[in-house]
Amino acid sequence: MARKIKFTKEDILNKSVDFIKKFGYSKLTVRELSKYVGCSTGPIFKNYTNFDEYKDDLKTYLRKDYTSFINQYIDKEDYLFTISFAYALYAKKEPNVFSSLFMTDLAGSRTVNEVINTDRNRETIMSMVSKYNISLEKAERIYREVRFYTHGIATQLCVKSIILTEDEIKYLIMNNIKMNLGVN
């Protein structure tokens, strides 16, 4: 009798990230994933009681991929610019994962206040207060404006409705930061 190959949650999640990078989140079903992994649907259902539990773990794994990428670009001396640039660049380089994390039901919904108050965003805002010598309220306003402007660029890069070089992305974001700071 042939030995059965066991698939751990980690195996399934790693393959899921690969699947999404190649085919996108919209193509992800248990059946398609099991074909891609090279197993029946059994190991997936053995590791997860339902698809929502799987999606929660998947989101965590996709966020790890995103965070790993972002961390390569962050310079806390210029946090707002570097994190904004990395966000847009990730959309360009990993459109299927970016779309999954920020443009599908997997992303969920948050208020602007919830976005501004995540740990990393608070850290970015606090660094802006000292870097630009501005009030917390002004830093929050500028962060919000730059964040959603950058998301627009990222979304267009993700769906390939705009073609920008890395230098063009940097220019657009830096120009937006300067405009919001009132610097020419």
Q: Is residue 2 part of a domain?
A: no
Domain of residue 32, CATH code: 1.10.10.60
Task: Give yes or no: residues 154 and 131 share one domain.
Answer: yes
Task: Give yes or no: residues 61 and 101 share one domain.
Answer: no
Task: Give yes or no: residues 27 and 89 share one domain.
Answer: no
Task: Give yes or no: residues 28 and 113 share one domain.
Answer: no
Q: Is residue 46 part of a domain?
A: yes
| Residue 141, token pair as written in the block | 């306003």
For the chain, the domain total comes to: 2
**Domain containing 48: what range?**
7-65
Q: Quick: pLDDT tens for 45-94.
A: 888 888 889 999 999 999 999 999 999 999 999 999 999 999 999 999 99
Task: Give yes or no: residues 107 and 40 share one domain.
Answer: no
Q: Quick: pLDDT tens for 7-30.
A: 888 989 999 999 999 999 999 998
Q: Is residue 164 part of a domain?
A: yes
